[in-house]
Structure 1
């Protein structure tokens, strides 16, 4: 009999953990933490070399695999290989994601298809393919979806990103109700702004190409200096979610504030989020990166 308020696999040792987007940032931090906890980690990434670097850092119990989360056939292949070698995953962490900034009317259908194929359908494929194997095995399991505080922030600068993360959050909540009778926990972990390469790799839709690249550089610097969270903070939140079978875990100050405001007054939240525009975001990033002293930061290396 499981102790109340603990997750289905909280007390299991040497669990098999499959992590997507494990080549850097949050995915790498999760892989390192789970390996250190004694788990066997399957570090997947579209960039196999990056996943390999994560495995080198984590040690012998971390194994890199190539995976494009948009492709269900690749999901099936990786899942079958992992099961043949290690057994059915005990934990799946859907972490892979991208960012896309730009006003709603400036984003094309292709932009929406791109972000949804990774942030939403990548989660759908993983939950369906790996989740079905968990169910078939009849053993306890846990699925984590890395959503975002953006799921609670309707806005003018990244509407497709917020929409994709809101969808990912609802997938986790819906799946939690479906899989609970199967003794499989499902958690949505929702970071706020985190010190990762998300800004550097984001698609930004502004006026001119030169302006876009300048904005990207400023945004990346601002994210690195003034983000409230580090990848390891998110990795610790993942461990809490698994240990206590938590439904939703806002990670840091800005995500928690967004969650509270969204719950208390959606109208007020919309009013606040209607203020920033792409132009204001560009100016704020420029000031933060170029005029505020680098010594004033939330994080120091």
Structure 2
């Protein structure tokens, strides 16, 4: 297929097969729904099969649900083999599955680090290795998307393991892009800022070894819903742009873009800014924002 400069390898292909991990909710669901509505055949995977099936029901287009724990490469291979036997090799892989973990560096245990790295980094590696190898073997154009985060450029005292995991995921995408470019396979890292999902509300939160209270979780969920700059559909649109134009890195919305710029222009300033928030300050700020600001004040309204 002849394609114009600055267009992605599969930008003009019709009825593409798109596999999305973590598609049971939030950003993953928005990506799956948007790709299905665009005429693609979507494979919505999630560790929670019922959630993936709900995504498939909501899709206005072809969408199939499969259970997938991205930390299990054997299960990843099994799902890939099943999908390929039925539909063929995916044209697009979106590595979206991820978790968050909050708490000071010295409060987080080795088990905390292993858990977040297993999903946010190794999950990306497993999916990209399994599907990427099939793309190369097929010898046709393809595209791999990694949902990283603006946290990849944000050293901080509140979620150091999350930032580290997303920085690693970003570098996986950049390294893979250099390797697969000669194979006509694009690789993009899409980096959202704070997004209106349940990621933070469902996160593991530690404070001197003590789990966060349910009240604190409720404040996080409320604050994220009201004050996040980005919506899941904004991220899904960014994924479409990344695929259409084969973009290497796509910051999503104001906060991620600001982090991207500051990290490059003045890393020292970025570190100083990020050294200010602590878990205690973050908790008190969210309480004040939720309790004192009118409910009508929000960055996004439905």
The alignment covers a number of residue pairs equal to 301
Conserved? CA contact 2:205–2:212, under 8 Å: no
Alignment of 1:176-191 (within 5 A): 176-191=177-192
Cα separation, 1, equivalents of 2:264 and 2:76: 35
Deviation at 1:59, TM superposition (A): 4.0
**5+ residue gaps in structure 1?**
none
Partner of 2:171: 170
Deviations 1:160-205 (A, max 9, x none): 0000000000000000000000000000000000000101210000
Cα separation, 2, equivalents of 1:211 and 1:8: 45
Cα separation, 1, equivalents of 2:70 and 2:129: 12
Cα separation, 1, equivalents of 2:78 and 2:211: 41
Cα separation, 2, equivalents of 1:210 and 1:35: 39
Conserved? CA contact 1:194–1:227, under 8 Å: yes
Conserved? CA contact 1:18–1:89, under 8 Å: yes
Partner of 2:10: 9
Conserved? CA contact 2:103–2:206, under 8 Å: yes
Change over 3 Å in CA distance of 1:208–1:176 after alignment to 2: closer
Partner of 2:123: 122
Cα separation, 2, equivalents of 1:65 and 1:211: 32
Change over 3 Å in CA distance of 1:50–1:262 after alignment to 2: same
Q: CA RMSD in A?
A: 1.0
Partner of 2:213: 212
TM value normalised by structure 2: 0.98
Partner of 1:91: 92
Partner of 2:202: 201
SS at structure 1 position matched to 2:79: helix
Cα separation, 1, equivalents of 2:297 and 2:209: 30
Deviation at 1:209, TM superposition (A): 5.4
Cα separation, 2, equivalents of 1:35 and 1:216: 33
Q: Does 1:32 align with 2:30?
A: no
* Structure 1 stretch displaced more, 287-296 or 34-43: 287-296
Partner of 2:271: 270
* Structure 1 stretch displaced more, 279-288 or 106-115: 279-288
Alignment of 1:84-163 (within 5 A): 84-163=85-164
Runs of 4+ aligned structure 1 residues displaced above 6 Å come to none
Deviation at 1:212, TM superposition (A): 2.9
Alignment of 1:219-238 (within 5 A): 219-238=220-239
